[in-house]
Amino acid sequence: MAYVTPGTVAAGDVATAAAWNVLTNDILQFAPFVQGVFTTEAARDAAITSPTEGMHVYLTAPTVPSGTGATITGVDTVYNGTNWVCVTPIGGLIASEQDIIGASGYQDLTTAGPTVTMVTGTSVILTMTARTLNNVATQSTLMSVAISGATTISAATFATTYGNAAFYFSSGNVTVTCSGTFLVTGLTPGTNTFKLQYSGNGNTSRWGNRHLTVTAVT
């Protein structure tokens, strides 16, 4: 039963069964929001065994979300009718500079990533940013994202489908900060891991201050 606006009462009115049922129903409609704080996913799932679409629960010590270099202290989750989605943006960062040498395809650097792991629905908003240096004139430097877990999408496929952070230089030894934001659709709901990968397009390129932020869209 949906929310029903309760009627007004005055002193001396008789409490009818119909009025009581309206109040009870309304309390049940909002109970998930009032009692929506748990420590972990396991505690939440044990307490709410039959969630309904739209329920919000805050987790103070979640176990699933993670991001390279990030400390996750608490996240908001929403039940989208299929699974509990983490709607708090999760980010990862690798500040140190590293080279990729002669790579024509997308690869990990010595320190892979950054990566972000979280429970998603079918869509996320993803932002990738990095500082890059290409040492060869008129060559492109490429950055994309690989997705694994419930969904499998290679960095090359992501670049073909959504585009990537690609930059073309008129001269070598130029350092720029590049960024791209994408609405990624068609994911399989569940725990998904997003990882940045890089290509020097056959030449040496250097990458630093690498950021990745993912926000799930229920």
Give the pLDDT score at 170.
Answer: 43
Give the pLDDT score at 27.
Answer: 65
Domain membership of residue 34 (yes or no) is no
Give the pLDDT score at 173.
Answer: 65
Q: Which residues of the chain have pLDDT under 70?
A: 1-4, 7, 13, 22-35, 102-103, 134-139, 164-173
- pLDDT tens figures, 157-214: 999 898 766 555 545 567 778 888 999 999 999 999 999 998 877 777 788 999 999 9
DSSP code per residue over the chain? ----PPPP--TT----HHHHHHHHHHHHHHHHHHT-EESSHHHHHHH-SS--TT-EEEESS-SS-EETT-----EEEEE-SSSEEE-S-EEEEE-S-EEE-S-SS-B--SS---EEEEEE-SEEEEEEEEEEEE-STT-EEEEEEEEEESS-B-HHHHHHHH--EEEE-SSSSEEEEEEEEEEE--PPSEEEEEEEEEE-TTS-EEEEEEEEEEEEE-
Domain membership of residue 41 (yes or no) is no
Domain membership of residue 8 (yes or no) is no
Give the pLDDT score at 144.
Answer: 92
Give the pLDDT score at 139.
Answer: 67
Give the pLDDT score at 23.
Answer: 67
Q: How many separate domains does the chain show?
A: 1
- Give pTM, 2 decimals: 0.82
CATH number at residue 171: 2.60.120.660
Whether the link from the prior residue into 32 is cis, omega within 30° of 0, is no
For residues 135, 93, 112 and 103, what is the CA-based torsion angle, rounded to 10 degrees? Answer: -20
Domain membership of residue 191 (yes or no) is yes
Q: Which domain holds residue 160?
A: 88-217
